[in-house]
Amino acid sequence: MLRAALTLSLICAQPTPHSAVPEAIDFAALRFSPDGEAALAALEQDAYALIAEAVRDGRFSPVDLDCRWIAIHEGIDAARRSPDRAAYNAARSTAQTLVAQAEERAGAPDPDAAPVARLAAAAHADRIWTGLWYETPRTGPDQVLIFEHMEALASQPRCEARQAAIAALDALIAQEGWPAVDQARLAADITQTVQHAGRRSDLRQAALDWAAEGIETGGPEAARRYALLADRFSLIEAGAQLYGTQGRCEAGVWIALPMLDDAQAERWRTEHGLEGLADHAEAMSAACG
């Protein structure tokens, strides 16, 4: 019965960015039903396959496969963390306001724009969604719940912005090749985009080679760009980072993800004009809220 209901909700949902999956599934109704956990577990088990069917049938685009699944997964997680319906509704309402404000700042993409313009717009949107993640407080139980619901609502538009940026970068490279690393704004947009291209090993390596070219002449900013990309990719491939740019927020404090060699990272950062690991962690903690 649940699979049939979910199938119907996915079929009826229009593939409109930012709303189709979260609005098609009533996570609260499932969570607070008599068999709430079983209902959420069944949804979690079936959802990815059902979205894949919709993609194969042409009802959704291939981008929707990951983005819609992320939205469902985050929606389930937020529902599970809600102790009762009142808490769910209160947190959801606040989160909806935060996401609506972010959507307004992110703006709407222009699919007919040139690749460099589409890349700039998508990278801007990605920065807005990434900023929302950092800006939303999570220092108490109520704030943590609001954050979880914000993630449930923001995950799909953030995913779509990142996918759009990758598509625009692919188009730019196909037309013009990799741009000069001294084009600061374009370089920033490329860095913002490529760091989220986890599955694209070809794009990862090409971007790392591109970023490495600028280290000698680009100063600390070019080194920071290279370190960020190298760390993102090293975490994917080796499970640990090289230069200490990647971390997570825990109770308002930024904690670096596993390092391969702290001493080597300190030396490299010093040689290239970057702050030390402790100073970097302190600066990042300020953004954790």
Backbone φ and ψ of 13, nearest 5°: -65, 130
Mean pLDDT of 271-289: 90
Query: What is the dihedral sign for C-alpha 92, 93, 95, 101?
Result: positive
> Residue 95 corresponds to which tokens in the numbers above?
């989160």
Residues 151, 13 share a domain = yes
| 18 pLDDT more than 50 | no
Residues 152, 18 share a domain = yes
Mean pLDDT of 235-239: 91
Residues 231, 148 share a domain = no
Instruction: For residue 139, give the DSSP letter.
Output: S
Helix (H) or strand (E) holding 253: strand 253-256
Exposed, middle or buried: residue 132 (CB in 10 Å: 0-12, 13-18, 19+)? buried
Residues 200, 168 share a domain = no
The rounded distance, in Å, linking the Cα atoms of 141 and 220 is 39
Residues 137, 57 share a domain = yes
User: Of residues 69 and 99, which shows the higher confidence score?
Assistant: 99
Position 67 in a domain: yes
Q: How far apart, in Å, do the first and last CA atoms of the chain sit?
A: 43
Query: What is the dihedral sign for C-alpha 116, 118, 120, 123?
Result: negative
> Residue 135 corresponds to which tokens in the numbers above?
């800006």
Average pLDDT, the chain: 87
Residues 63, 170 share a domain = yes
Position 215 in a domain: yes
Position 186 in a domain: no
| 140 pLDDT more than 70 | yes
Q: Which residue has the tokens 């699944």?
A: 69
The rounded distance, in Å, linking the Cα atoms of 182 and 50 is 45
* Helix extents (H) in the chain: 2-12, 20-24, 27-31, 36-56, 62-81, 85-106, 115-135, 141-176, 184-194, 201-213, 215-238, 262-271, 277-286
Position 134 in a domain: yes
Confidence at residue 259, expressed as pLDDT on a 0 to 100 scale = 95
The rounded distance, in Å, linking the Cα atoms of 80 and 36 is 9
> Residue 123 corresponds to which tokens in the numbers above?
């990278």
Residues 12, 39 share a domain = yes
> Residue 172 corresponds to which tokens in the numbers above?
């730019």
Position 184 in a domain: no
Confidence at residue 23, expressed as pLDDT on a 0 to 100 scale = 57
Residue 92 belongs to domain spanning: 2-177
| 8 Å CB contact between 72 and 25 | yes
Strands (E), 146-241: none
Q: How many residues would you count in the chain?
A: 289
* pLDDT tens, residue by residue, 78-116: 999 999 999 999 999 999 999 999 999 999 989 999 999
Residues 199, 165 share a domain = no
* pLDDT tens, residue by residue, 186-199: 999 999 999 888 77
Q: Rounded to 5, what percent of the chain is helix, strand, coil? A: 70, 5, 25
Assign 9 to helix, strand or coil: helix
Position 114 in a domain: yes
The rounded distance, in Å, linking the Cα atoms of 173 and 113 is 15
| 8 Å CB contact between 10 and 52 | no
Residues 172, 196 share a domain = no
Domains identified in the chain, total number: 2
Residues 118, 6 share a domain = yes
Residues 164, 206 share a domain = no
The rounded distance, in Å, linking the Cα atoms of 64 and 72 is 12
The last residue of a domain, from among 177, 206, 232 = 177
Confidence at residue 289, expressed as pLDDT on a 0 to 100 scale = 63
- Which of 23, 20, 55, 26 minimizes the C-alpha distance to 39? 26
The pTM for the full model equals 0.82
- Which of 109, 11, 119 minimizes the C-alpha distance to 55? 11
Residues 271, 232 share a domain = yes
